[in-house]
A and B are shown apart, each in its own frame.
Chain A
């Protein structure tokens, strides 16, 4: 490492007067003998002065107005952020309620069917006629093309199926006794 390279890292501290006396002395001795380093130190000083006195910019006159507008937007976006989760909550809650009510009704209907002994069973021929599992059969029934009719048929058949099940179970119990 040459003397110049050794002293270069001290230039900054030197121009700021931040060197210990011994180091400052040795640097000044070197500068006295080395014109390139002496010039570099002068340039460094000049440059630092120029950096300090660079043109000062000022913000545009509407800077604060724009800032306040942005702050107001934050307020608005906050309210939107609050409303979106609430809306998002409502949809699944409503859907869950619908499903819950549907399941409860289904259970209640089933339990009432099982509980009543007096429900007469339809003849098996009728049951076979409206088999809900047979899509093709259901769709070709004359005069039964609408969805409402299809639902009614399905409900009937479910009732009949469950009644038939109960009837069979009852007959079995009677036989056993």
Chain B
């Protein structure tokens, strides 16, 4: 704990790095890219559901940081700023897909509750496989309305505090909490079979 604290103290903060970059230090920019590229990729990927698109959007996010570095003011955390940019880009991408009608969610999710009753007899290992479980969760996340999806991703996948989410999305704290709760309830309803205690017991006995 003490070691971690010491390490954190020694680490140059994002805000110092962006300030250096604003004064022309390109290495500071590279450090910020290295710090955030994977985090942002996970956030954007969970949002849009396509790895290549996600990587392009993260590239675009960092390009915008590069081009608009002088718009950043130290009143906000750098992470808040960069996540706001990435989130807006991801939402724009989803709207663009919707407009062009190329947005196709897998039938697995689109069909009415076609995974509510799992066929454990056919393939009992399927549900325990981490990758498949991740995939099922990912599809269910994609199915969520954007306003729930963004708070769930920021809170439960990225681990942001409610206050930070409120700043990133520029919505009141109470709205964030309410959306997190409603989003979780909706998601767990869709993923009932994965987390049903009876099902877990059956799985263990098998």
Report how many residues on chain A are interfacial, defined by Cβ distance under 8 Å.
30
Across the interface, B133 reaches (CB within 8 A) one of A48, A50, A60, A74, namely A50
Question: Given the complex, which residues of B lie within 8 Å of A71, measured CB to CB?
Answer: 63, 66
Chain B interface residue number, banded: 35 or more
B55 & A60 in contact (Cβ 8 Å cutoff): yes
Q: Are A51 and B157 neighbours in the complex by a CB distance under 8 Å?
A: yes
For chain B, residues 14 to 53, give those with C-beta under 8 angstroms from any C-beta of chain A: 30, 33-34, 37-38, 41-42, 45-46, 51
Interface residue? B137 (CB, 8 A): yes
B181 at the interface (CB under 8 A from A): yes
Please determine whether A43 and B51 come into contact, CB atoms closer than 8 angstroms: no
Instruction: Indicate which residue in B67, B137, B185 contacts A54 across the interface (CB closer than 8 Å).
Output: B137
Given A11-B185, A39-B197, A42-B197, A67 and B33 touching (CB < 8 A)? Answer: yes
Alpha-carbon distance A17/B31, docked complex (angstroms): 36
Please determine whether A39 and B196 come into contact, CB atoms closer than 8 angstroms. Answer: yes
Closest to A10 in B: B181
Q: Which A residues, 50 to 82, have Cβ-Cβ distances below 8 Å to chain B?
A: 50-52, 54-60, 63-64, 66-67, 70-71, 74
Inter-chain contact total with CB atoms closer than 8 Å:
97
> A8 interface residue, CB < 8 Å from B?
yes
Closest-by-CB residue of A relative to B153 is A51
Chain A residues lying within 8 Å of B178, measured Cβ to Cβ, are: 9
Q: A11-B185, A44-B188, A66-B59 are in contact. Are A51 and B45 (CB under 8 A)?
A: no
A39 to B188, CA, bound (A): 11
Could you say which of B59, B156, B177, B192 contacts A52, with CB atoms under 8 Å apart? B156
Chain A 1-18: CB-based contact to B (< 8 A → 1; otherwise 0): 000000011011100000
Is the pair B59, A67 in contact by a Cβ cutoff of 8 Å?
yes
Q: How far is the CA of A74 from the CA of B26 in the complex (A)?
A: 15
25 A-B residue pairings within 8 Å (CB atoms): A12-B177, A12-B180, A13-B181, A39-B197, A40-B185, A43-B188, A43-B195, A43-B196, A47-B137, A50-B194, A51-B156, A51-B157, A54-B42, A54-B157, A55-B131, A57-B38, A57-B54, A59-B38, A64-B33, A64-B37, A67-B33, A67-B59, A67-B63, A70-B63, A74-B63
8 additional contacts (CB under 8 A) given A43-B191, A67-B59: A9-B181, A43-B196, A46-B195, A47-B137, A55-B130, A57-B54, A58-B41, A64-B30
